[in-house]
Amino acid sequence: MENLQTPQGELGLPIIGETLNFLLDPNYALKKKQQYGNVFKTRIFGSPSVFMIGAEANQFIFANENKYFDVNWPASTKALLGNMSLAMQSGHTHTSRRKLMVQAFQPRALASYTPEIISITAQYFQRWEQMGTLTWYGEIRDYTFDVASKTLVNTSDGSQTKLSKYFYDWADGLFSIPLQLPWTKFGKAMQARKQIRELLGETIQARQQLLDRGDQFSKEAIAKDAIAILLNAEDEQGHKLSLDELKDQILVLLFAGHETLTSAIASFCLLLAQHPDVCDRARAEQMELIQSNSEINADTLKQMPYLDAVMKEVLRFVPPVGGAFRKTKEDFEYKGFLIPQGWTVIYQINQSHQDEAVYSDPDTFNPDRFLENTNDRAKLFSYVPFGGGMRECLGKEYARLEMKIFGAMLLRQYRWELLPNQNLSLIKVPTPHPRDGLKVRFYCDH
Ligand code: HEM
C-alpha cells in the first residue's frame, strides 16, 4: 500500500476546494472523467474526495459497505435527520433496522396503500382539470406529500397542514451551515424538527391506543399506514422501535421519499410531452387494458410492460438522485490507487446511466431499450437509480407503485401540453426540476 499514489486530480483551495464547480456545473463529473478517467480526486464540502465512476465502481462500493465505507452526511443533515434514522445508522444496527423497516414496504403493505394512492391521485387530477393551466412542479410536490403523509403517517391533505410547513422549514436547513441561532436556516430547521417530532409523537400515540384496543375495527383502521406497521414490527430479538426512534425513522421516510418522487413524476410528465410517439404508445397500452379490465389494482398494474419500460427509462435519463457519498473507514486499493482512510467517496448514478457500452445513444430518451432483455446482466450495476447493496433505496417498490399509478391514471383520462415561452432546462440540485416549474395545459381526454 505504501507505494501506491492517490488518484489524479486537484484538491484545489483549502476547505472550499472544487465545491462550487461541483454544485454549479452539471457536467462537472463528466469533464473530470474525460480528463482523468473513472477515478479522480478533488476536494468538496471541505473533505478530500474521490469520485469512483462506472458499473465496476458501483459494484465495489455496494459490496464493501461497512468494510471500507460508512455513511457520510454534512453536519447539518446529521443533526436534522437525527442519530436514530436509517440513513445515519451503520453496521449491525443498520442491518437490523432495515429488516424491521422493510415490513412497511412489503407487497402486502404496498397493496394496502394502493386504494389511498389511487384516491389522492384522482382528486389531484380533478383539481388540475379545473385549473386548466398550471405550474405543475409545485402541485406534484403537494401531491407526493399528500400521498406520503397519508400512507406513512395517516394524515390527510398533509400538504395543507402544519406538518408540511414544518417539513419544508426543516428540509431548507438540511444542507446549510450548522449554526443554531433563531434566524439561521439551520436554527429554524432544528426548531421545525422539534415541532415535527411533537406532531409525529401525537400521531404515533393515537395509533398505539387504537392498536391496544385490538378489536376488528382498530385492526382494519390501522392496517393502512406505515406507522401502524412499524409500531408492530419486531427485530430478530423481538425488540420493537422506541417512540423516540420511530419518530426519526418516519421523518427519514418522509424526507427520502418525497422530493425524489416529485422529481421522477415531473420528469415523466415532461418527457412524455416532449415525445408524443412514446406517449401515444403508452396510452394505447392503457386503452387495451381498459377493454379487458378497467380497474387499476395490484394485478392490472403488473400488465403494463411498456409503461414499465417508460418509467425505467425516465429514471435512467433523469435520475432523481445523481450520486451518493460515503466516508472511507480504512486505507484501501482501488484500480491501483490508494484511497486513504477518512476521505469522502462519491459514486455516480448519472454517469453510470450514460455508459455507452451498455446504453447505445445514451442521450436519447428511448424506453424500447428496456424492452430488449439481451443486456440485462450488463445493466446490473449500470442501472442504479435506487443505489444498490445494503443501502439500496428502502422505498424502491413504493416509488415504482406510485409512479405507475400516477402514469396509468393520467394516460387513461387526461392530456397535457407544454405552454410556450418557458425554460424547460433542468436545475439539478437538490433533485432535477424544470427551471420554470413546468407550465402546462391540462385537460380531460373526452
Ligand atoms: C423515484 C424515487 C426514489 C429514488 C430515485 C430514490 C433513490 C434512492 C437512492 C439512490 C438511495 C441510496 C442512497 C445511498 O446510496 O446512500 C436511496 C436510499 C433510501 N431511500 Fe430512496 N429513492 C426514491 C424513493 C424513496 C421512497 C418513496 C422512500 C420511502 C418512502 C425512500 C426511502 C429511502 C431510504 C429510507 C433510504 C436509505 C436506505 C439506507 O440507508 O439503508 N426512497 N433512495
CB 209 within 8 A of CB 217: no
Q: Where are the beta strands (DSSP E) in 368-438?
A: 414-418, 426-427, 433-434
- In this predicted structure, what is the pLDDT of residue 391? 96
Q: What is the pLDDT of residue 16?
A: 80
Average pLDDT in the chain: 92
The pLDDT > 90 percentage for the chain reads 73
> Computed from CA positions of residues 140, 384, 230, 297, in that sequence, does the dihedral angle turn out positive or negative?
positive
Cell matching residue 122 = 384522482
Percent with pLDDT over 70 in the chain: 97
| pLDDT greater than 80 at residue 221 | no
Reported as a single tens digit per residue, the pLDDT across 11-49 is 888 878 888 888 788 888 889 999 999 999 999 888 899
Contacts of 265 (CB under 8 A, 6+ apart): 140, 143, 144, 402, 403, 406
Q: What is the mean pLDDT of residues 198-204?
A: 93
Average pLDDT (377-393) is: 90
Cis before 430 (ω within 30)? yes
Q: Does the C-beta of 385 come closer than 6 Å to ligand 1?
A: yes
The number of the ligand 1 atom at minimal distance from the alpha carbon of 252 is 35
pLDDT of residue 280: 98
What pLDDT, in 10s, does the model give residues 411-439?
A: 999 999 999 999 999 988 788 999 999 99
Q: Is the pLDDT of residue 372 over 90?
A: no
- Between residues 222 and 137, which one has the greater pLDDT? 137
Cell of 192: 421545525
Contact 344, 47 (CB under 8 A): yes
The model's confidence at residue 164, banded by pLDDT at 50, 70 and 90, is: very high
pLDDT tops 70 at residue 397: yes
Residue nearest (by alpha carbon) to ligand 1 atom 20: 393
- 205: CB partners within 8 A, 6+ apart: 243
> Which stretch of 116-130, 292-306, 325-339, 348-362 has the lowest confidence by average pLDDT?
292-306
pLDDT at 248 over 80: yes
Please, what is the angle between helix 185-213 and helix 243-274, to 10°? 110
Residue with cell 406529500: 145
108 versus 224: the higher-pLDDT residue is 108
Residue 75: band (very low, low, confident or very high) from pLDDT cuts 50, 70, 90: confident
Q: Say if residue 397 is exposed, middle or buried (CB neighbours under 10 Å; 0-12, 13-18, 19+).
A: middle
Confidence grade of residue 120 (pLDDT, cut at 50, 70, 90): very high
Three-class SS string for 29-80?
HHHHHHHHCCEEEEEECCEEEEEECCHHHHHHHHHCECCCEEECCCHHHHHH
Which grid coordinates belong to 130? 379545473
Pocket lining: 332 vs ligand 1, CB cutoff 6 Å: no
Q: Which amino acid is at 349?
A: I
pLDDT band at 282 (very low <50, low <70, confident <90, very high): very high
Q: Is pLDDT above 70 for 222?
A: no
Nearest to 54 by CA among 280, 361, 353: 353
Q: Which CATH code is given to the segment(s) 1-74+322-360?
A: 3.30.43.20
Residue with the smallest CA separation from ligand 1 atom 21 is 393
Q: Is 432 in the pocket of ligand 1 (CB under 6 A)?
A: no
Q: Kindly report the number of other CB atoms within 10 A of residue 244's CB atom.
A: 12
Report domain extents, the chain: 1-74+322-360
Q: Flag the least confident range among 135-149, 217-231, 305-319, 341-355.
A: 217-231
Q: How far apart are CA 307 and CA 326, in angstroms?
A: 34
Is any ligand 1 atom within 6 A of the Cβ of residue 88?
no
Q: Which ligand 1 atom sits closest to the C-alpha of 254?
A: 30
**C-beta of 261 in contact with ligand 1 (< 6 A):** yes
Ligand 1 pocket member 117 (CB < 6 A) = no
User: Ligand 1 centre and the CA of 395: distance in Å?
Assistant: 6
Query: Which of 393, 400, 406, 433 for a ligand 1 pocket mutation test, highest count of atoms within 8 Å of Cβ?
Result: 393
Give pLDDT, residue 223: 67
